[in-house]
Structure 1
Amino acid sequence: MNYLIKTGALALILGCASVANAADKNVTVTLNPQESAPVINKEIYGQFAEHLGTCIYGGIWVGEDSPIPNTNGYRNDVLQAMRDIKVPVLRWPGGCFADEYHWVDGIGPKENRPRMVNNNWGGTVEDNSFGTHEFFNLCELIGAEPYLSGNVGSGSVEELAKWVEYITAEEGPMAKIRKENGREKPWHLKYLGVGNESWGCGGNFTPEFYADAYRRYQTYCRNFNGNRLFKIASGASDYDYNWTEVLMDKAGNLMDGISLHYYTTPGWVGSKGSATKFTDDDYYWTLGKCL
């Protein structure tokens, strides 16, 4: 906001100067439409699909037997909307949900998948009918790059390593299970988040402990069959520069990216309060953090 105000003021000053100069001499304006404009990375417009409210169940996924018009269980209207806005990259399964999600519960025949309690968002019971196959097939349907958020908070190194193998390996024990579950060819996976918000809902790690955990977990997330993982570490919250400094010092050479989190509402996720009932102080706090 401050930048826009300053820019507008500068434009006004320059405009006045141009008018003043025009009285004394001719003014020439040169346009160069042939010159290329700055390139904006398309991933900045990415989306995330977390098991939150009706984002997944009832929103994206209704199941093949739903009376709502669908394609293989995905709502037709939502599919079309996601294609229309050309979602470039889609992150799943969280958010906070990711560090309580165990991927083996979401593969195989849907009637055999165990139910789970979504402790992060309302304590709802989910049937795991939307899992790995459903997510990666969705990305293919809408032309989005998948971004997998791995479970570091409550999962194991072996669990995450086998998930990557299940998704991307051409042959081997995990690929065999994938093929038995109906997917012959591996999927493409570029973005891999090694934990999420690890300073909070992702495990309440200290920066030193998370840096060591990141180093360990990423070691066993391997590249199969030419699939090159872009490994992303869980970055700091808001102004926690110590987290960033410790993490970059201890593990910076082992990461391709870092996921930063910044919340403009009072507090952070889980304590930010009502979307419609807020005080003047809450409003000014939000504007202040935006600036």
Structure 2
Amino acid sequence: MSAVARAVVDLDVVGARISRHLYGHFAEHLGRCIYNGFWVGEGSEIPNVRGIRRDVVDALRALRIPNLRWPGGCFADAYHWRDGIGPRDERPRIANTNWGDVVENNHFGTHEFMDLCDLLGADAYVNGNVGSGTVQEMSEWAEYLTRGDDSPMARLRRENGRDEPWRVPFWGLGNEPWGCGGNMSAEAYAEQARRYAMYSRNHGDNRLVRIAAGANEDDLDWTRALMKGAVESHTNVLYNSLPYEAISFHYYTHSGSGINTEDATAFTDAQFYDTMAYATDIDRVIRGHIAVMDSYDPDRRIDLVCDEWGTWWNAAEGTNPGFLFQQNTVRDALVAGIHFDVFHRHASRLAMANIAQTINVLQAMVLTDGDRMVLTPTYHVFEMNSGHHDARQLSAHLLEAPTTMVGDDELTLVSLSASTSEDAALISLTHMSVDADCRVRVDLRGRAAKLTRARVLTGESATTFNDPDAPDRVAPAPLEAQIEDGVLTAQLPPHSFATFELHLG
């Protein structure tokens, strides 16, 4: 049985720029993300560059990864940066009580992270410690990283082997202060955020985008408190500037029972559709935050950031439950496709997003097993969508699409977005039916277009995943498609993600 979807893309109606930073990543000291993920150590038999795993770097460079958030997450508000500098064999060991209650040797610290960002060609997003740290500690970390003269922290950095300062664009003022980052009220954190932001200084020509830690999902009261606090402080005649440049929120997808309660690979059709509905609902959540922000900041000087998003299933059987290792199926890939379509639509206010997480944790890009590495279905969505980086939105509208009922609500089973850069355009389509094909017809208006490549990502079922023994079960494949008389047509298989690359005349 085949469904039908019709859409219009106006190739000459250009909107906001889709920041490449919407395709950002997140690496926390959690499970095997850092240790035995990014970091194997210089003495490892696994090929590495100064202890950083080479095949992982190569895979992420192929995605043109724009930024990397570190060291957390919950771990950030228990991390004291001075423990992670200096000779590695002299660094104190620390207990990671947030994730698995393991002891870490601190061999991966500030210098190693900045080296990793250099290898990736990615901007650094450093998340500071508000929960258990001090204003002075955060202030000195910014100085250590970014100051170039003979200040105390710049001298300390040079003593540890780095002469020139680094460029650090993004600076997190704690993480989830409503929970693991301090269990604060919104008003209490808003005061702390202003104080920590004030002492997170710009040094030299480095300019920090200071990101206040925001809401859990649709907690609009939290956003309201942060915006109110920012606007009130802006009236201070001595410091006539906003205290922070962005606020964040977090959004994890599941099928309705809550995070960390359901299986990653064994799920019913009903759970599949529940997951699609939950992923789609991020549009409502973003609209709510933007409405609150606009009421305080109609000129949109403060950006919105979703610096944790993705699916959160049960840890795989036989693994440490505190390490949050889960497999990554076609279902997860479709969640990513849906999210990106929503992110693109809100690109005028949404400036950055970070998937949780990059390696071996939650909805990862890459899974490692000893010296073997696997690219996940989600990785391929990032790669197929890379043409949207810093492109301009195109007007894209569904006219007709199949639907299904999820509880009392109707779920539209097709999602799309489009963008353009110079003489190229990219259209992305996510087809959410678990068992039906979809005949897609897209009217291309405003400019002549030639199809240069069409690809599709799917599997035998929505539960299909890649593993070291079958790393290419889910991988992009050519898709038969054509443009005739300005109409793009293609037949999408069930549970699939597709991209269409166009040359514009």
Normalised by the size of structure 2, how large is the TM-score? 0.49
In the alignment, which residue of structure 1 is the partner of 2:345? none
Kindly state the Cα deviation for residue 8 of structure 1 after the two structures are TM-superposed: 3.5
In the alignment, which residue of structure 2 is the partner of 1:227? 206
Using the aligned pairs only, state the percent identity: 51
Q: Residues 287, 85 of structure 1: CA spacing in aligned structure 2 closer, same or farther, 3 A cutoff?
A: closer
Instruction: Please state whether the residue corresponding to 2:103 is helix, strand or coil.
Output: strand
Kindly state the Cα deviation for residue 261 of structure 1 after the two structures are TM-superposed: 1.0
CA distance in 1, matches of 2:246, 2:90: 37
CA distance in 1, matches of 2:13, 2:268: 48
In the alignment, which residue of structure 2 is the partner of 1:198? 177
Q: Does residue 177 of structure 1 match 2:166?
A: no
In the alignment, which residue of structure 2 is the partner of 1:82? 60
Instruction: Please state whether the residue corresponding to 1:64 is helix, strand or coil.
Output: coil
CA distance in 2, matches of 1:100, 1:161: 16
Instruction: Please state whether the residue corresponding to 1:208 is helix, strand or coil.
Output: helix
Kindly state the Cα deviation for residue 118 of structure 1 after the two structures are TM-superposed: 1.1
Q: Deviations over 1:158-177 (max 9, x none)?
A: 11000001001112100111
In the alignment, which residue of structure 2 is the partner of 1:134? 112
CA distance in 1, matches of 2:5, 2:230: 42
Q: Residues 94, 268 of structure 1: CA spacing in aligned structure 2 closer, same or farther, 3 A cutoff?
A: farther
In the alignment, which residue of structure 1 is the partner of 2:197? 218
Kindly state the Cα deviation for residue 280 of structure 1 after the two structures are TM-superposed: 8.1
In the alignment, which residue of structure 2 is the partner of 1:257? 246
In the alignment, which residue of structure 2 is the partner of 1:147? 125
Kindly state the Cα deviation for residue 284 of structure 1 after the two structures are TM-superposed: 6.0
Instruction: Please state whether the residue corresponding to 1:81 is helix, strand or coil.
Output: helix
Q: Residues 239, 33 of structure 1: CA spacing in aligned structure 2 closer, same or farther, 3 A cutoff?
A: closer
Q: Is the 8 A contact 1:194 1:214 kept in 2?
A: yes
Of structures 1 and 2, the one with the larger relative CO (CA 8 A, separation 6+) is 2
Question: Who wins on radius of gyration, i.e. which is larger?
Answer: 1
In structure 2, list runs of 5 or more residues that go unmatched. Answer: 232-241, 282-505
CA distance in 2, matches of 1:119, 1:281: 36
Matches within 5 A, 1:1-291: 8=5, 11=7, 39-171=17-149, 172-252=151-231, 253-265=242-254, 266=256, 271-276=260-265, 286-290=275-279, 291=281
CA distance in 2, matches of 1:33, 1:237: 36
Instruction: Please state whether the residue corresponding to 2:211 is helix, strand or coil.
Output: strand
CA distance in 2, matches of 1:153, 1:222: 19
Kindly state the Cα deviation for residue 112 of structure 1 after the two structures are TM-superposed: 0.5
Instruction: Please state whether the residue corresponding to 2:142 is helix, strand or coil.
Output: helix
Kindly state the Cα deviation for residue 152 of structure 1 after the two structures are TM-superposed: 0.5
The one-letter amino acid of 2:223's match is T
Kindly state the Cα deviation for residue 258 of structure 1 after the two structures are TM-superposed: 0.9
Kindly state the Cα deviation for residue 83 of structure 1 after the two structures are TM-superposed: 1.1
Instruction: Please state whether the residue corresponding to 1:228 is helix, strand or coil.
Output: coil
Report which stretch shifted further, 201-210 or 256-265: 256-265
In structure 1, list runs of 5 or more residues that go unmatched. Answer: 15-30
CA distance in 2, matches of 1:58, 1:200: 28
The one-letter amino acid of 1:94's match is G
Kindly state the Cα deviation for residue 224 of structure 1 after the two structures are TM-superposed: 0.7
Report which stretch shifted further, 38-47 or 154-163: 38-47
Give me the CA root mean square deviation: 2.6
**How many residue pairs align between the two structures?**
266
CA distance in 2, matches of 1:108, 1:197: 29
Q: Residues 282, 202 of structure 1: CA spacing in aligned structure 2 closer, same or farther, 3 A cutoff?
A: farther
Q: Residues 54, 224 of structure 1: CA spacing in aligned structure 2 closer, same or farther, 3 A cutoff?
A: same
Q: Is the 8 A contact 1:214 1:251 kept in 2?
A: no
Q: Deviations over 1:37-61 (max 9, x none)?
A: 8632100111111111111111111
More strand by share: 2
Kindly state the Cα deviation for residue 275 of structure 1 after the two structures are TM-superposed: 2.8
Instruction: Please state whether the residue corresponding to 1:233 is helix, strand or coil.
Output: strand
Kindly state the Cα deviation for residue 91 of structure 1 after the two structures are TM-superposed: 0.5
